[in-house]
A and B are shown apart, each in its own frame.
Chain A
Amino acid sequence: MTIEGAIDQEAKVVIAVRDARAQARYTDVIDGVKKAVADELKRIDPTLKIKKTEYFNHSYIPDLIATWRESGKSQERRVFIRGSLSTVVASEDVEALSDQRPLLIGLGDETGRVLKDLRAQLPKTTETLATEVSVTSRITAPMATEEQDTQLSGLVRANIVRGGRGLLTDSDADRIVNVEGQEPADALRAFTRTVQKLFLGSTAERLTRTAGLLGIFFEANPSAEVLNQLRDEPLSDSELRVILPYVLRRAAEVSSRRVWETLASMLTLERIESLAPALVDLNLSPIVRPGINNLIAGRSALFINAEEFTDEAKDALTPSWKVRNGKLTADVHRWSLWMGSDGRKIHGRDDGPDARWDELSSPLVSFDLTAIDLRGLSRQLGVSNVNADAVREDVELFRRTIDDDFHVASVTVREKGETDAPEVKVEFAESTATGKASVEFHVRAAGLLAVKRPFSDDDLDSLTSTE
């Protein structure tokens, strides 16, 4: 198969197959070819597990079995390596193996006549996928970066082994790769055409749904029915990995707030963390803020903003949510606020702010204070009481009666007036706030760590307003 615009460099898999074929011992030929193809399939979809069988180029026993989990169930695709697609035609593999839903992958680079013959052997409803390593490599090679992995073409690519069918040629491969380069409307149409050609059944439905959703998200009045349905049947991680970056990159073109609310409803902090590689460099505020009361953090932290901007530049920026190092974070001028779904994901430091009761007394008014550790020159005092007012009264009493210079080591706070609300312990030396609570509460609790340069109401609004 040859088309215009051939890729500049020979694909890794093509080189690996050639090297394997040059081996002197036939067992090395077999091992090398199987490894090259297995590696190629893993590159197409890194979530696949590839099991090598004891056989090679056998009539009816696969060379490789690709497995994955879908809806909690183990799924598999049998992969048959063939020297060429000409051999697939001559051996009538399509008919002989049809009940195995095979992926037939040729090591050659075939001409039009062979492809025509093969197409003639493939029934319209076939679940067999026939392709070549020289074709699949066209899809993977330009898609190696993390950012491109989150694109529409990435979603097609990730489903090729799982649900691809028919004949995948290099012109199909190039169409998949080029999808991103076109205008959004054209891209979605090309995507849908490719999906309909290459997929059947649940995979086709899921991918077509993705394309349809992307269209709906940008409508002025998106269908309430569709959005409600999405709340009942949330998107999978692999779908979100594509959809979120696609929509967030075009956030200005989303005119309905309900779209953001719907997407936010599918997120947990754990999910954001697992999707983090796909979300790098994107402003996540549109999807974090609507669900900020439902996102639960186990720990937050406030460190000095280490970005290489001038202080003036930092002060001028409006805080927004993003991911960095796999965690949800927001730069609040000269501070960096971090959220972790689990306490272990955020490590404290030992150079946190020096906090005095007189500085904290006022901001603490907006919380129920349930415990406090005070460090004086000669005394350490710990006070806790389920009655929040009692703690504050005790501290005020110490201040009046004990002649010492008390620093606050930690405070434990909860939502004002809500005795059942979760408690968060703010530790000043470590610069952390620990306890399962909403990200919204953590933003305010971690704000206590910013006593020397407090968050403004506007800052809090930029991070937590659900409007």
Chain B
Amino acid sequence: MVLRAESAHEEGRKGVFRTKRWLESTTHIELNFDAYDWASECTVNTLDNKLQTFDLKGQIYKSKSLLYVENKSYTTVGKQGKDYKDFLAIAYSATAAEIARTQDPRWEFMWVTTFPFAQGQWPKLTKRSQIKKALEEDTTGLLNGLPIDEEILDLLSSRIWLLVLNKRQHELTLTPKELNLIEAKLNRKGKQ
């Protein structure tokens, strides 16, 4: 499976930028790149030597980690359950590939949706067991025949985010003008 940027539909693209604004409005995250204008920056290599592109890429200031975001602007549940598992498997495969190539990249992965899914399992969706299950169910060769590395599962389990965004969230968020007023005082980036 291949993660696809939400480029096919205008609403999907708007949704990506709505998510970007919301996440940046938390003052903890900056998402410098999107898949529409900066596809290569949002692309990772997986163990099977394939490329996977996320909707957004940026950084979490506090942990200084790179963050990849997959966004779903849905009005129904769709195939999210399956797509989410693919997302977990890709997150693992990309991390494992980078560890094999250099070292632990400390990447974090975030799934943002406007429509919750798999609600019966919701509390478990970011757990280690779910990542493992996603890898076991993968039929696209993301492991490239390699065994699942338990240590990588441990690393990754704390690096998965799952958030639900309501379209009206912006009404409850500080405005850009207000955020500008506090940005320097908060100094989230730890500038000197």
- Residues of A with Cβ closer than 8 Å to B? 21, 26, 29-30, 54-61, 82-84, 86-87, 90-92, 96-97, 99-100, 107-108
Contacts and interface: CB of A to CB of B under 8 A. Distances in A.
26 contacts: A21-B38, A26-B32, A26-B33, A26-B41, A26-B57, A54-B191, A56-B30, A58-B30, A59-B24, A60-B21, A60-B179, A61-B179, A61-B180, A61-B183, A83-B38, A86-B37, A87-B34, A90-B13, A90-B36, A92-B17, A96-B21, A96-B176, A97-B176, A100-B177, A100-B180, A107-B37
Interface residues of B, number: 28
B14 A90 contact: yes
Given A59-B24, A99-B177, A91 B36 contact: no
A59 B37 contact: no
B20 interface: yes
Interface of B: 10, 13-14, 16-18, 20-21, 24-25, 30-34, 36-38, 40-41, 57, 176-177, 179-180, 183, 189, 191
Contacts of B20: 59, 91
A56 B179 contact: no
B24 A90 contact: no
B37 A84 contact: yes
A84 B25 contact: no
Contacts of B25: 59-60
Contacts of B176: 59-60, 96-97, 99-100
Contact of B33 (A57, A59, A100): A57
**A contact face: mostly helix, strand, loop, or mixed:** loop
Contacts of B10: 90
Contact of A83 (B18, B24, B34): B34
A97 to B, nearest CB: 6
Contacts of A108: 37
Contacts of B37: 82-84, 86-87, 107-108
Contacts of A83: 34, 36-38
B43 to A, nearest CB: 11
A87 B14 CA distance: 9
Contacts of A100: 176-177, 180
Given A55-B30, A92-B14, 14 more contacts: A21-B38, A21-B40, A26-B57, A56-B30, A59-B21, A59-B25, A61-B180, A83-B34, A83-B36, A87-B37, A91-B14, A91-B21, A92-B17, A100-B176
